[in-house]
Amino acid sequence: MFSYHDAFSRNLGWVTRGEQDILRAKRVAIAGLGGVGGSHLLTLARLGVGAFHIADFDTFDIANFNRQAGATTTSLGRRKADVLAEMARDVNPELEIKVFRQGVTSENLDEFFAGVDVYVDGLDFFAFAARQAVFAACAEKGIPAVTAAPLGMGAAILNFLPGRMTFEEYFRVQGQPEEEQAIRFLLGLSPAMLQMSYLVDKSRVNLAEKRGPSTVMACQLCAGLAATEALKLLLHRGRVRAAPWGLHFDAHRGKLAYTWRPWGNANPLQRLGLAIARRRLAAMPAFAPDIPKKPYTVIEQILDVARWAPSGDNTQVWRFEILDRHRVAVHGFDTRENCIYDVNGRPSQIALGTLLENIRIAASEHGLRADVSRREGEPDDKPVFDVAFIADSAVQRDPLLPYIPVRSVQRRPMRTRPLLDHERTALESAAGESFRIVWLEGFARKLDVAAMMSRAAELRLTLPEAYQVHRKVIEWNASFSEDRVPDQAIGLDQPTLRLMRWVMRSWGRVAFFNAYLAGTVMPRLQLDLLPGIACAAHFALIARARPETIDDYVNAGRAMQRFWLTATRLGLQLQPEMTPLIFSAYAREGVRFSETPGSLEKARHLSGQLARLIGDGAENAVFMGRIGAGRAAAARSLRLPLERLKVE
Ligand SMILES: Cc1cc2nc3c(=O)[nH]c(=O)nc-3n(C[C@H](O)[C@H](O)[C@H](O)COP(=O)(O)O)c2cc1C
């Protein structure tokens, strides 16, 4: 049978037996039983508080599941107050709980606060009028009030104690329009704003529509902080800071900030913060609803994921012709005519392989097998792949699926910690049996590769043919680009980038810079030498059989995509380093790829360097790159929308 003293005996030590008895005799009011309120109630019930007044008029909805203690499949549609009262009574059947099913209203405020020792706020962020009324009543009745605001993955606490600064004196929200109230409330709660630096999708915040993202971690941190404040207040255990003092702990950043804002939102520092917040909010992107705009067939869903495949310079060498509900034709093309890097269209064929592998992985989500066959009679520079989707009970959801849109090039320095055994094994097996990986690791080896990359860069940066390509594929002043590579993703620092933007306006400037001002030095240092060392390893993907046909290169692309997605799954960053392979191919095949005298000799030299580094089978290398732990790139290429990739 239930015994109060047994149930809460493990509190003893942190509270005395006498204090536990005092908690049993206390009454706490909680308005709002959503994300924080529900956790407040259950936390305080486990602390052994004996009586509660709880108020909420709302019912549980599916959107509450991510954070609200009472939101479960069995409580859907039920009143939050009833569900939470049951849950709390399940912890302590002796609880005295008074439930206010209409929420707090001007009519029931007196009853709600009758005999209450502490108020803990659980009201919805946007319930401005109710909150003002509740805090005003607390001040008038001399009841200490605790607010804990869930912010990102942290919590900010602010107490209003009898005889001290009041809620209105601090927030100054009366008479303000609702959006302004929201900004004042937010900034008043968290002057430190620790959470903003990791708000990864700003379009999810919309104060005007009263929507914002939330996490369960924040709610639970709030419950822990607020219950501790409540305990101190109820037991008179030491100093409790009150407004204008606040405290914000952010678990994501591992940071604690005490804030002190005398005059609250009227404080000059706070007014400045409010002005900045208003400007930032005005610049927030439009709220993005989850629902796709058009009816979306299964094939479209698959292609919409698959289009995130990589391609040289983000050229996206594919177009989709949806033939019927089960079949799509992928029309490939290459850029060998106008891109010096696209040797015989092979890099484009590799890119097509990455796309086809993505299609296979994306289809697995729908229990579909993707059977691919290259259409006969089509030229290699315009290959067509017929893909048939077939329901297959043996197909399991591929674990690489969620990494398709996340995978991206990192051209900046990575961490130098060597690859771990399990990482190496996973990557090798991802490439499959037809390929082996040569790892180039250790400082000396990495330096060799960095030097080779730098030589390749010297060559390409001085070729007018490559200049034409670079001009076309870089999108200037951009962090994101749908059809090119944004300049911010190239890996250069801002001054060099600015200079390069200016120099690259004409080939005359480039040639002059290269000839007289050592124009390639800074880019090579930043793009090749330093990153070449700042990584765990370089790698080369070597085909066991000499690749010859378009199908061989497509298969290489498929292997490479599994390799790259596996790297992403392991939290590793990757950058392709294709230029040594490209120039080696020109050298091997004796192709005069540039008008510039001496370029073929330089390419031959590079080819020799590559062969020495890789050893046997260097001519079978289909892909090369650098890899390492570290942060994902902040700037990246995006993709053309599916609509623009579709052809009739
Ligand atoms: C065959 C192939 C060759 C590539 N070569 C290089 C390269 O030499 N250097 C580089 O930085 N990125 C290279 N890339 C990466 C592309 O530029 C990149 O995938 C594309 O811009 C899309 O960006 P994302 O991968 O970040 O989505 C290559 C990609 C492919 C598929």
- Nearest atom in ligand 1 to 638's CA: 27
pLDDT at 285 over 80: no
| 3-class state of residue 513 by DSSP | helix
Burial class (CB in 10 A: 0-12, 13-18, 19+), 515: exposed
Determine the distance separating the centroid of ligand 1 and the alpha carbon of 621, expressed in angstroms: 17
Q: What is the pLDDT of residue 386?
A: 98
CA distances from 630 to 410, 415, 532 (A): 9, 6, 14
Specify the DSSP class assigned to residue 215.
-
pTM beyond 0.85: the answer is: no
Q: What is the pLDDT of residue 508?
A: 87
Domain boundaries for CATH 3.40.50.720 within the chain: 4-282
Please choose, from the candidates 184, 179, 187, 189, the residue with its C-alpha nearest in 3D space to the C-alpha of residue 211: 179
* CA angle 143–45–189, rounded 5-degree value: 50
From first CA to last CA, the distance across the chain in angstroms is 73
Mean pLDDT of 7-11: 98
Closest C-alpha to ligand 1, atom 1:
347
Determine the distance separating the centroid of ligand 1 and the alpha carbon of 564, expressed in angstroms: 11
518: left (phi over 0), alpha (psi -120 to 50) or beta: left
Contact 397, 360 (CB under 8 A): no
Determine the distance separating the centroid of ligand 1 and the alpha carbon of 506, expressed in angstroms: 25
Q: What is the pLDDT of residue 295?
A: 61
Q: Take residue 226 and report the two structure tokens written for it.
A: 């607020």
Q: What is the pLDDT of residue 282?
A: 77
Q: How confident is the model at residue 283 (pLDDT cuts 50, 70, 90)?
A: confident
How many other C-beta atoms lie within 10 A of the C-beta of residue 478? 16
Q: Take residue 644 and report the two structure tokens written for it.
A: 């623009």
Mean pLDDT of 523-538: 93
| 3-class state of residue 59 by DSSP | strand
| 3-class state of residue 508 by DSSP | helix
pLDDT at 476 over 60: yes
Determine the distance separating the centroid of ligand 1 and the alpha carbon of 310, expressed in angstroms: 6
Q: What is the pLDDT of residue 286?
A: 63
Rounded to the nearest integer, the mean pLDDT of the chain is 94
pLDDT at 292 over 70: no
Q: How confident is the model at residue 288 (pLDDT cuts 50, 70, 90)?
A: low
Contact 37, 59 (CB under 8 A): no
Determine the distance separating the centroid of ligand 1 and the alpha carbon of 385, expressed in angstroms: 22
- Nearest atom in ligand 1 to 347's CA: 1
Instruction: Looking at 142-235, list the stretches that DSSP marks H as alpha helix, in order from N- to C-terminal side.
Output: 167-171, 178-189, 216-235
Closest C-alpha to ligand 1, atom 26:
408
pLDDT at 127 over 80: yes
Please choose, from the candidates 521, 520, 530, the residue with its C-alpha nearest in 3D space to the C-alpha of residue 575: 530
Sheet of strand 318-322, all strands in order from the earlier edge strand to the far edge: 318-322, 327-332, 384-391, 368-374
pLDDT at 290 over 60: no
CA torsion 446-486-308-411 (nearest 10°) is: 10
CA distances from 444 to 98, 189, 439 (A): 73, 53, 13
Mean pLDDT of 436-462: 95
Mean pLDDT of 21-39: 97
Q: What is the pLDDT of residue 114?
A: 98
Encode pLDDT of 226-276 as tens digits: 999 999 999 999 899 999 999 999 999 999 999 999 999 999 999 999 998
Determine the distance separating the centroid of ligand 1 and the alpha carbon of 508, expressed in angstroms: 28
Determine the distance separating the centroid of ligand 1 and the alpha carbon of 315, expressed in angstroms: 9
- Ligand 1 pocket (Cβ < 6 Å) reads 310-314, 347, 350-351, 354, 408-409, 411, 485, 575-579, 636-637
Amino acid identity of 284? Answer: M
- Tell me how far apart the alpha carbons of residues 418 and 396 are, in angstroms, rounded to a whole number: 33
- Nearest atom in ligand 1 to 354's CA: 31
Q: What share of the chain is helix, strand, coil (3-state, %, to 5)?
A: 45, 20, 35
Q: Take residue 275 and report the two structure tokens written for it.
A: 């002005």
Q: What is the pLDDT of residue 648?
A: 87
**Ligand 1 pocket, mutate which of 307, 308, 313, 492 (most atoms under 8 A from CB):** 313
Determine the distance separating the centroid of ligand 1 and the alpha carbon of 584, expressed in angstroms: 18
Q: Take residue 499 and report the two structure tokens written for it.
A: 């200079």
- Tell me how far apart the alpha carbons of residues 352 and 374 are, in angstroms, rounded to a whole number: 11
179 against 329, higher pLDDT:
329
In SS3 terms, 582-615 reads as HHHHHHHHCCCCCCCCCHHHHHHHHHHHHHHHHC
- Tell me how far apart the alpha carbons of residues 438 and 455 are, in angstroms, rounded to a whole number: 21
pLDDT at 513 over 90: no
Closest C-alpha to ligand 1, atom 10:
576
Closest C-alpha to ligand 1, atom 15:
312
Determine the distance separating the centroid of ligand 1 and the alpha carbon of 485, expressed in angstroms: 9
Closest C-alpha to ligand 1, atom 27:
408
Q: Take residue 329 and report the two structure tokens written for it.
A: 């034709």
Closest C-alpha to ligand 1, atom 23:
637
- Nearest atom in ligand 1 to 578's CA: 8
Determine the distance separating the centroid of ligand 1 and the alpha carbon of 311, expressed in angstroms: 5
- Tell me how far apart the alpha carbons of residues 400 and 79 are, in angstroms, rounded to a whole number: 40
Please choose, from the candidates 99, 166, 157, the residue with its C-alpha nearest in 3D space to the C-alpha of residue 134: 166
pLDDT at 613 over 90: yes
pLDDT at 207 over 90: no
Closest C-alpha to ligand 1, atom 4:
312
**Ligand 1 pocket, mutate which of 578, 583, 638 (most atoms under 8 A from CB):** 578
Q: Which of 101-110, 127-136, 277-286, 380-389 has the lowest mean pLDDT?
A: 277-286
- Tell me how far apart the alpha carbons of residues 546 and 435 are, in angstroms, rounded to a whole number: 11
- Nearest atom in ligand 1 to 351's CA: 31
Chain Cα centroid distance, residue 207: 22
Q: How confident is the model at residue 381 (pLDDT cuts 50, 70, 90)?
A: very high
Closest C-alpha to ligand 1, atom 6:
576
- Tell me how far apart the alpha carbons of residues 481 and 467 are, in angstroms, rounded to a whole number: 19
Q: What is the pLDDT of residue 512?
A: 86
- Nearest atom in ligand 1 to 560's CA: 31
Encode pLDDT of 331-352 as tens digits: 999 999 999 999 999 999 999 9
- Nearest atom in ligand 1 to 484's CA: 21
Mean pLDDT of 354-362: 98
pLDDT at 287 over 60: no
Determine the distance separating the centroid of ligand 1 and the alpha carbon of 19, expressed in angstroms: 65
Determine the distance separating the centroid of ligand 1 and the alpha carbon of 543, expressed in angstroms: 20
Chain Cα centroid distance, residue 153: 14
Asked if the 298-401 domain carries CATH number 3.40.109.10, the reply is yes
Sheet strands (E) in 482-620: 485-486, 537-543, 572-576
Determine the distance separating the centroid of ligand 1 and the alpha carbon of 414, expressed in angstroms: 17
- Nearest atom in ligand 1 to 348's CA: 1
Please choose, from the candidates 99, 79, 101, the residue with its C-alpha nearest in 3D space to the C-alpha of residue 89: 99
Strand partners, 255: 250
Burial class (CB in 10 A: 0-12, 13-18, 19+), 126: middle
Domain boundaries for CATH 3.40.109.10 within the chain: 298-401
Determine the distance separating the centroid of ligand 1 and the alpha carbon of 396, expressed in angstroms: 29
**Ligand 1 pocket, mutate which of 311, 334, 404, 560 (most atoms under 8 A from CB):** 311
pLDDT at 490 over 70: yes
For the domain 4-282, what is the CATH superfamily, name and number? NAD(P)-binding Rossmann-like Domain (3.40.50.720)
pLDDT at 641 over 70: yes
Q: How confident is the model at residue 568 (pLDDT cuts 50, 70, 90)?
A: very high
Contact 559, 434 (CB under 8 A): yes
Give the rounded percent of residues in the chain with a pLDDT score beyond 70.
98
pLDDT at 194 over 90: yes
Determine the distance separating the centroid of ligand 1 and the alpha carbon of 371, expressed in angstroms: 26
Mean pLDDT of 153-157: 97
Q: What is the pLDDT of residue 223?
A: 98
pLDDT at 289 over 70: no
Amino acid identity of 46? Answer: R
